Amino acid sequence: MRIGVFGGTFDPVHNGHINAFAETYIGMELDKVIVVPTFISPFKKQTGSSDRHRLNMLKLAVKDYDFAEIDTFEIDQHQVTYTFDTLKYLHEKYPGDELYFIIGTDHYISFDKWANADKLHELAKFVVLDRNDELYNVKAPFIKLNTNIFEVSSTLIRERLKTNTEVRHLMHENVYGYIKEQRLYET
């Protein structure tokens, strides 16, 4: 089985996240995509919402995508978890399957600074989502996937919500409803 792995903070999850993993699912002919929300340490200054709220929003956002599932491995660790640890866990959970870790150009450029960067390719292939054909020389073993990325950021959404500026068009309607109901990102 060909499995995509898409990690992120998802604070909040938005249409750009959904577009990224859905386009990779199509473009790489994957069998499924595992979405992995990161743990946010309670010792760090929190800029957004709790793990529980982020997970609830993520469930609302991906529920209509039968090829997507959420794995809470990183949240369940209750500590900072590196990509190497997550991929090692998934590699053991799905023996014999091919893992494709989905990253953006920003992560590709800084990849050599990742923990255990030299060992990551033993656990998964890395798919680089190239926005607007920015990268000319994506070197093996990375796989470049040209795709139209929906440009939006969680930071922008949080800032707009603080100022009561329109954001409904940037996320799933149920995620927006959840944010309003829970009064997230208001201050």
pLDDT in tens, 142-181: 888 888 777 899 999 999 999 999 999 999 999 999 999 9
Positive or negative torsion for Cα 143, 144, 148, 152: positive
Find the helix packing angle between 15-27 and 51-62, rounded to 10°.
50
Least confident of 42-46, 70-74, 97-101: 42-46
Give the angle 147-72-161 at the CA atoms, nearest 5°.
65
Question: Which residues, 6+ apart, have CB-to-CB distance to 97 below 8 Å?
Answer: 1, 2, 3
Percent of the chain with pLDDT over 90: 71
What's 2-182's CATH class? Answer: alpha beta
Domain ranges of the chain: 2-182
Question: Which residues, 6+ apart, have CB-to-CB distance to 127 below 8 Å?
Answer: 4, 24, 28, 100, 101, 102, 103, 142, 143, 145
Predicted pLDDT of residue 140: 62
In contact, 129 and 100? CB cutoff 8 Å: no
Predicted pLDDT of residue 132: 61
Instruction: Give pTM, 2 decimals.
Output: 0.92
Place of tokens 């903070």: 9
Closest CA to 30 of 68, 58, 64: 68
Percent of the chain with pLDDT over 70: 91
pLDDT, tens only, 103-146? 987 788 788 888 998 899 999 999 988 766 666 566 667 888 88
Question: Which residues, 6+ apart, have CB-to-CB distance to 57 below 8 Å?
Answer: 10, 12, 13, 49, 175, 178, 179
